Structure 1
Amino acid sequence: MIVDSDTSNDVRDGLVRDYLHLTREVMPHMSALPETDWPVVNDHCFQRIVLDTISGGVWYDHIPRPAYKHLTMLQAEEAVALCRAITAGTADLYALNLQSLKWRGKAR
């Protein structure tokens, strides 16, 4: 099967849009709900956690800045899947945040 590079780029761009929507709007909104007990509330914190997790370390050691412009198709897929797992409650945001902070030498 031959995949048109324009089609591939469109899919990747759609995934990046989903990732940005989830981290900039959905997750911060959810974190403000009284029933949600999350360790972070700001969009940049969600982005840090997600990008660090998919990178297996401090994201900017693996992905050029700005990250959303440089995510590969696989990274974009992984980022969206992780965001969805977090919002569904199937990924432990506390553990992911702690690991991200450890990679950065900021864990308490």
Structure 2
Amino acid sequence: MSAEAELRARWRSLVGEVLPEAARGRRDWPVALDHCFARILLDNACGRPWREVVPPPAWRHIAPDRLAEAVAIGEAVLTGTADLAALNRRSLALRGKAVPVREAGPS
């Protein structure tokens, strides 16, 4: 398998299985669904709503360097070195959406 194919497989596993599974034990995480993780990671890696940069499905069409950045962000969330709530707030702000009330205050 090529390095790019491995990266794309890692993305699909991370977003489709690993992060949603980890979310089951994390009441402090603002999301638990695969598509929410994808939105947050891709928006943050792209610096704007990912659909403005990449046609769906993103995992297939995104440039490898940008996908590697999204995977690195997801793995940082898993290790606790990235704040998922802050990443979610940034993603929502990039989309011009309000932060959910449950996230607005301190945890």
> What's the TM-score bracket when you normalise by the shorter of the two chains?
0.7 to 0.9
2:4 maps to 1:12: yes
Equivalence for 2:104: none
Percent of residue pairs bearing the same amino acid type = 42
CA deviation profile, 1:13-54 (whole Å, cap 9, x unmatched): 110110110111011111111x55200000000000000000
Count of matched residue positions in the alignment of Structure 1 and Structure 2: 99
Structure 2 segments unaligned to the other structure (5+ residues)? 100-107
Separation in structure 2 between the aligned mates of residue 53 and residue 13 of structure 1, nearest angstrom: 22
Question: Could you tell me which residue of structure 2 aligns to residue 25 of structure 1?
Answer: 17
CA RMSD of aligned residues (A): 1.3
- What stretches of structure 1 of length at least 5 have no aligned partner? 1-6
Q: 1:61 aligns with which of 52, 55, 65?
A: 52
Q: Report if aligned partners of 1:57, 1:100 keep a CA contact under 8 Å in 2.
A: yes
SS, match of residue 63 in structure 1:
coil
TM-score, normalised to structure 2's length?
A: 0.86
- Give the SS at the match of 2:48: coil
Residue aligning to 1:101: 92
Q: Report runs of 4+ in structure 1 exceeding 3 Å deviation.
A: none
